[in-house]
Amino acid sequence: MSSSGHGVEPVGWPADATCDDLIGNWRIYQRAKGHKTSTDDVLTAWFACRCMGGDRPQRYLDLGCGIGSVLLMTCHVLRPAYALGVEAQSQSAAMAAASIQQLPDEENIEVKHADFRTAMLESTSRSFDLVTGSPPYFPVGTGVLPDDYQRTACRFELRGGVEAYFQAAKRAMTDEGKFVLVFQTEWVKRVMAAAKDSGLHLRQRADVSMRSDRERPFLSVYVFGRAAAGVHAMSFAIRDGHGQVTTDYLAIRGEMGLTTRS
């Protein structure tokens, strides 16, 4: 089943699934006409790895893991002792689980098909030293919903927005834990309001422009913690004014062990 429209969640293995290179010798299942690994995912995984400073997480949680892009890239670099991805959309959760099952390396990675707003187990409470999230960016009603349900769920807040991610991260994080989030920069006030409501404090921020000749950044990646601290900020562009990939983004992909893109 390749598409069921945005109103009906598809079931079963999608007919347009492909198994593609992701990172190193790890591969990922994704749909040819559905949600795919994106620059947002690369940036989230990179900032998560960067904020850990080379430390190996004992327990790592990816909220709303989708097809597993951030989960797998972060795990490939950091090799946590245990990693959990939680995903409410059945088809995406099944694809993430299948990608994990065919990994060439033996890793302690699990995918739970559940809505993290209501199904976070008590045993996971405040036990993760790293949490990541790449929420959908748009409230329902602020744009045209795609015909494809999977793409709709990845872009629009069908099951809550950034506020729900903060509340879940707060419940899941250890006292020294870190929460890494990507969101469109124009919604920065909403992100910071959600952080304040959850009692989490900004530690690091990267503002990312899609092209260097555009004035405003498009995406921001954040690191939050329970305790207030000084904020380290940085900015860079994905492509320059001629459309070529910048040295900054090439360096990021190199840090992650990703293949070079032109």
How sure is the predictor about 144, in pLDDT bands with cuts at 50, 70 and 90? low
> Over the chain, what is the mean pLDDT?
87
Q: In 10 A of CB 121, how many CB atoms?
A: 11
Asked whether residue 4 is domain-assigned, the answer is no
Is residue 3 situated within a structural domain? no
Tens digits of residue pLDDT in 173-213: 999 999 999 999 999 999 999 999 999 999 999 999 999 99
Indicate whether 106 belongs to any domain. yes
Q: Are strands 219-225 and 201-211 parallel, antiparallel or unpaired?
A: antiparallel
Position 4 confidence tier, pLDDT thresholds 50, 70, 90 = very low
Residue percentage of the chain with pLDDT more than 90: 69
What is the band of 12 on the pLDDT scale with cuts at 50, 70, 90?
confident
Residues 6 or more apart whose Cβ sits within 8 Å of residue 49 = 74, 77, 78, 255, 256
Number of domains in the chain: 1
pLDDT at 148: 64
Instruction: Evaluate whether residue 67 is within a structural domain.
Output: yes
CATH number reported for the structural domain that contains residue 199 in this entry: 3.40.50.150
DSSP E strand boundaries for 68-218:
82-87, 109-113, 128-133, 173-184, 201-211
Give the model's confidence band at 3: pLDDT under 50 very low, under 70 low, under 90 confident, else very high.
very low
Q: Which domain holds residue 51?
A: 17-256
pLDDT class for 48, splitting at 50, 70, 90?
very high
Rounded to a whole number, what is the largest CA-CA distance in the chain? 51
CB 68 within 8 A of CB 44: no
H-run or E-run covering 193: helix 188-198
d(CA 218, CA 195): 20
**194: CB partners within 8 A, 6+ apart:** 162, 163, 165, 166
> Which backbone phi and psi does 112 adopt, to 5 degrees?
-110, 125
Helix (H) or strand (E) holding 92: helix 90-101
Contact residues for 131 (Cβ-Cβ < 8 A; gap 6+): 60, 61, 62, 63, 169, 172, 173, 177, 178, 179, 180
Q: Which of 59-63, 105-109, 126-130, 147-151 has the lowest mean pLDDT?
A: 147-151
Give the pairing of strands 109-113 and 17-23. Answer: unpaired
pLDDT value of position 214: 84
Query: In the predicted model, what is the mean pLDDT of residues 35-45?
Result: 92
In a domain, 240, yes or no: yes
- Residue 124 pLDDT: 60
Residue 54: inside a domain: yes
Q: Are 226 and 175 a contacting pair, CB within 8 Å?
A: yes
